[in-house]
Each structure stands twice: as C-alpha cells, then as structure tokens.
Amino acid sequence: DVKVTQSSRYLVKRTGEKVFLECVQDMDHENMFWYRQDPGLGLRLIYFSYDVKMKEKGDIPEGYSVSREKKERFSLILESASTNQTSMYLCASSPWGAGDTGELFFGEGSRLTVL
C-alpha cells in the first residue's frame, strides 16, 4: 500500500515562528502536493511539484514556500507563521504516466494552530 507520512499530526506555534511541515511518500511517485483544508472552503492547493527541485504555485501560495530536494520528500515552509495560517494541512502524492488514473494518495494531515 502507498504510504504518505506527515511528520506531525498536531503543532502549536507562535506568530512569527518559522514552521516546517514534512511529508514523505514511499511509492516513488513523481508528483507531490500540499493542500490546506478549512471548514466551508474545502481543499485549496498551496504548492505542487512534478519532480525533484521543481515547484509550481497552486491557488494560495502567499505566505508559504516549499522544498523538494529528494523525490520522496516534500516540505512546506511557513517563513513567519500568522494566525490566519491556522489550518489542517494535507500532503498528497500521485504517479505520473500513461495508464495512471491520476488518483491522489493523502497523508493523515497536520493540524497547525498559530497563537
């Protein structure tokens, strides 16, 4: 089974702190994604990556950056956390190729609270 692991299930940080959210997948998937989920707003795409060292902005990249130094790891960085970044963050991965359905495999989520 594909496993997408997010390093922290729950984090509490203070305004202005630098926050790292780590995600690792074990199925050699090319594509990796970071979403945030908020009540009534559904899933919103922050950043995604199609390959090592590549990144693409999603719908709401402001206030975030990402790093993909290895194929299996995709990190989301909040340079200076703010209270409006309190949210559930979901990492996902998917394979790339003919015959693939485009299905996303999700991690369990990281719930971040910024005080």
Partner 1 sequence: GEDVEQSLFLSVREGDSSVINCTYTDSSSTYLYWYKQEPGAGLQLLTYIFSNMDMKQDQRLTVLLNKKDKHLSLRIADTQTGDSAIYFCAEDSGNTPLVFGKGTRLSVIA
Residues in contact with partner 1 by CB under 8 A are 4, 31, 33, 40-43, 45, 48, 58, 90, 92, 101-109
Nearer to partner 1 among residue 26 and residue 79 (C-beta): 26
Contact (CB, 8 A) for 92 and 5: no
Q: What is the nearest approach in angstroms of partner 1 to the Cβ of residue 16? A: 28
Nearer to partner 1 among residue 38 and residue 79 (C-beta): 38
Nearer to partner 1 among residue 79 and residue 108 (C-beta): 108
Q: What is the nearest approach in angstroms of partner 1 to the Cβ of residue 83? A: 22
Residue 85 phi, psi dihedral angles, 5° rounding: -100, 5
